[in-house]
Amino acid sequence: MDRYDLMLQLPDLYRSIPFAELQRVLGEMCRRAGADLELTLRQLWPQTASGWGLELWETAYGIPIDLSKDEEFRRTRVISKLRGQGTPTVELIQAVAASFANGQVEVVEHQDTYC
């Protein structure tokens, strides 16, 4: 809903100029609250975080905050760090490398060398 027209919900008695202005202001406040909520919800996932939300993700994962880098690069670092949690398997290494390099990665195992 783009515009909150609360006047449509009121009886005619309350449609006078002072009440109309009050309802216009309340409608604008509701619109802003909705936009703020939407922005805040986008910060909950690193794939959509920006600005202050991205800084929180970087801090949580011990990544130095570098505002000179673009947000997409910074998001990629956070996502790579997230995917890097756990036991290092071939699949995990491929997923981390692919997310950071934004491309295909081939991992070759040499188990004989380390057994």
Between 62 and 12, name the one with better pLDDT: 62
Look up the pTM and report it. Answer: 0.60
The 10s digit of each residue's pLDDT in 28-75 is 999 999 999 999 999 999 999 999 999 999 999 999 999 999 999 999
How far is 14 from 86, CA to CA, in rounded Å?
Answer: 61
Say yes or no to pLDDT of 4 above 70: no
Average pLDDT over residues 7-36: 85
Judge whether residue 77 has pLDDT over 50.
yes
For the chain, domain boundaries = 1-42, 46-115
pLDDT at 58: 96
Mean pLDDT of all residues in 6-20: 78
DSSP codes of every residue in 28-76: HHHHHHHHHHHHHHHTTSTTT--THHHHHHHHHTTPPP-TTS-HHHHHH
Report pLDDT for 35.
94
Residue positions counted in the chain: 115
